[in-house]
């Protein structure tokens, strides 16, 4: 797909940019799923979800003229425009003065359009920043190395996307995937099967309370931040309708012991959220459920199962559950993480405002 698109357009310095409409949805999602760095947070449905959460979403596409070998002298005004990249910007209106534009999993470009495309996107982001009062644009591209077109960005202090993850290759035969796991991982998967742990996957919203109860139990037990129930209502309603996600449940003797929320995007299945009960740990329900999720993802044509949030650092907050994930084998992948581009006019205005406020209150 990407090769065919590249053959139809050539970088020419003639990019145009505009707000995308609902008519562009299929073309946009197809492009983002095709690009190796395409992220589900740049999908149309994810933007719809963020709007439900109170964010403003600005969906910009970059277009190039399609080449015509048959008639190179054809009227350029009638030339077909091909989507070659773009960015969904998110903004959450709040009372703070130091607000940000967010672009998780972005920007996205077809090869050869990065430099000019980034220039156009920054110009538009500057316009949005002035209008909204944002002091910076925070991006989180799924890139292993920082490219030159991001030279003006600096590392950000906080990340939305985990910069390190663990990918399980689903392309080999099932026996080979099992063979690539740690011995403990294989053993516990087979143990769950011997105990008769049952698994199911569903897009029925009635499964959401079962999922959330286990999720929240895990949040309290492990002392990490947990999203409220309303968040998952908005998330699941949006992604289920787009056929992008499922809830997976593992049951033993009629009791749900483990739950996961798996998101499908492009050639990747991502374990986005999950939770487990501390009851009956000997049946290894979590191992059985993740193995079932991997097999299901493979059957759907996914090439990788993404454990989404992982660390090799034993002192990291992710260290405990990373030890569990490591039993499934896989390859650790690290991206450049979040980076900020500051709008200095907005930043200066914000600082001046803060200084005046401090002076008044002092």
Cα separation of 270 and 261, whole Å? 8
The residue to which tokens 């277009």 are assigned: 63
Q: What residues form DSSP beta bridges with 295?
A: none
- Residue 33 in any domain: the answer is yes
Q: Report the candidate in 236, 260, 264 with the shortest Cα–Cα distance to residue 250.
A: 260
Q: Tell which of 134, 155, 176 closes a domain.
A: 155
Regarding whether 184 and 67 lie in a shared domain, the answer is no
Instruction: Quote the pLDDT of residue 129.
Output: 93
Sequence-distant (6+) residues with CB within 8 A of 247 are 201, 202, 203, 204, 207, 208, 210, 211, 236, 259, 260, 261, 262
Count of domains forming the chain:
2
- Residue 31 in any domain: the answer is yes
CA angle in degrees (0–180, nearest 5) for 29-308-169: 80
Cα separation of 286 and 165, whole Å? 19
pTM here is 0.89
Q: Tell which of 155, 180, 198 closes a domain.
A: 155
Regarding whether 74 and 112 lie in a shared domain, the answer is yes
DSSP code, position 171: S
Regarding whether 310 and 207 lie in a shared domain, the answer is yes
Please give the distance of CA 16 from its chain centroid, rounded to a whole number: 26
Cα 253 to Cα 133, 197, 260, 273, distances in angstroms: 55, 8, 19, 24
- Residue 348 in any domain: the answer is no
Highest mean pLDDT: which range of 159-168, 178-187, 314-323: 178-187
Sequence-distant (6+) residues with CB within 8 A of 181 are 189, 327, 328, 329
Alpha-helical regions (H) of 139-225? 174-179, 183-195, 208-222
Regarding whether 133 and 190 lie in a shared domain, the answer is no
Regarding whether 148 and 216 lie in a shared domain, the answer is no
Contact of 250 with 256, CB cutoff 8 Å: yes
**pLDDT tens string 76-116:** 554 688 999 999 999 998 766 678 999 999 999 999 999 99
Regarding whether 118 and 43 lie in a shared domain, the answer is yes
Regarding whether 213 and 126 lie in a shared domain, the answer is no
Contact of 268 with 33, CB cutoff 8 Å: no
3-state DSSP assignment of residue 267: coil
Contact of 85 with 117, CB cutoff 8 Å: yes
Counted residue by residue, the chain has a size of 362
> Encoding tokens for residue 295?
């097999």
Q: Are strands 164-169 and 331-334 parallel, antiparallel or unpaired?
A: antiparallel
The residue to which tokens 């996307």 are assigned: 161
Cα separation of 24 and 327, whole Å? 42
Instruction: Quote the pLDDT of residue 94.
Output: 79
Regarding whether 204 and 303 lie in a shared domain, the answer is yes
Q: Is 142 exposed, middle or buried (0-12, 13-18, 19+ CB in 10 A)?
A: buried
Inter-axis angle of helices 285-299 and 183-195, nearest 10: 100
Is pLDDT larger for residue 295 or for residue 7?
A: 295
- Residue 26 in any domain: the answer is yes
Alpha-helical regions (H) of the chain? 2-8, 25-34, 44-52, 114-132, 174-179, 183-195, 208-222, 229-241, 285-299, 319-326, 344-361
**pLDDT tens string 114-153:** 999 999 999 999 999 999 989 999 999 999 999 999 999 9
Local confidence band at 12 (pLDDT 50, 70, 90 cut-offs): low
**pLDDT tens string 231-243:** 999 999 999 999 9
Regarding whether 177 and 326 lie in a shared domain, the answer is yes
- Residue 73 in any domain: the answer is yes
- Residue 354 in any domain: the answer is no
Q: What is the mean pLDDT of the chain?
A: 89
Report the CATH number at residue 14: 3.40.630.30
Contact of 343 with 130, CB cutoff 8 Å: yes
Regarding whether 143 and 9 lie in a shared domain, the answer is yes
Is pLDDT larger for residue 75 or for residue 285?
A: 285
Q: What distance, in Å, lies between the first and last C-alpha atoms of the chain?
A: 62
Residue 110's domain spans which residues?
2-155
Regarding whether 292 and 192 lie in a shared domain, the answer is yes
Regarding whether 104 and 227 lie in a shared domain, the answer is no
3-state DSSP assignment of residue 348: helix
- Residue 345 in any domain: the answer is no
């Amino acid at each position: 797909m990407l090769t065919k698109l590249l053959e139809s357009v050539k970088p020419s310095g003639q990019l145009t940019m505009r707000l995308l409409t609902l008519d562009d949805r299929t073309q946009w999602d197809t492009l983002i799923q095709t690009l190796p760095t395409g992220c589900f947070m740049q999908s149309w449905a994810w933007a719809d979800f963020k709007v439900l959460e109170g964010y403003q979403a600005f969906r910009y596409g970059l277009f190039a003229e399609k080449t015509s070998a048959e008639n190179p002298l054809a009227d350029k005004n009638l030339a077909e425009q091909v989507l070659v990249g773009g960015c969904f910007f998110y903004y959450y209106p709040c009372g703070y003065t130091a607000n940000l534009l967010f672009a998780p999993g972005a920007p996205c470009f077809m090869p050869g359009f990065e430099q000019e495309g980034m220039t156009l996107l920054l110009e538009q982001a500057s316009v949005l920043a002035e209008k909204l009062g944002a002091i910076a644009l925070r991006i989180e591209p799924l890139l292993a190395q920082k490219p030159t077109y991001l030279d003006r960005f600096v590392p950000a202090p906080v990340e939305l996307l985990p910069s390190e993850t663990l990918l399980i290759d689903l392309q080999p035969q099932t026996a080979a995937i099992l063979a690539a796991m740690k011995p403990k991982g294989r053993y516990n998967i087979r143990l769950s099967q011997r105990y008769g742990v049952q698994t199911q996957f569903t897009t029925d919203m009635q499964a959401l309370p079962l999922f959330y109860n286990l999720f929240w139990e895990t949040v309290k037990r492990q002392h990490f931040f947990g999203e409220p129930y309303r968040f998952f209502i908005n998330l699941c309603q949006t992604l289920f309708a787009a056929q992008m996600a499922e809830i997976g449940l593992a049951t033993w003797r009629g009791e749900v012991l483990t739950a996961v929320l798996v998101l499908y995007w492009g050639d990747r299945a991502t374990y986005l959220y999950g939770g487990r009960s501390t009851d009956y740990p000997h049946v290894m329900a979590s191992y059985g459920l993740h193995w079932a999720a991997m097999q299901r993802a493979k059957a759907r044509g996914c090439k990788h199962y993404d454990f989404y949030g992982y660390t090799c650092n034993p002192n990291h907050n992710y260290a405990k559950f990373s030890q569990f994930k490591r039993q499934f084998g896989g390859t650790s992948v690290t991206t450049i993480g979040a980076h900020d581009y500051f709008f200095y006019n907005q930043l200066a205005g914000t600082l001046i405002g803060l200084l005046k406020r401090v002076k008044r209150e002092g």
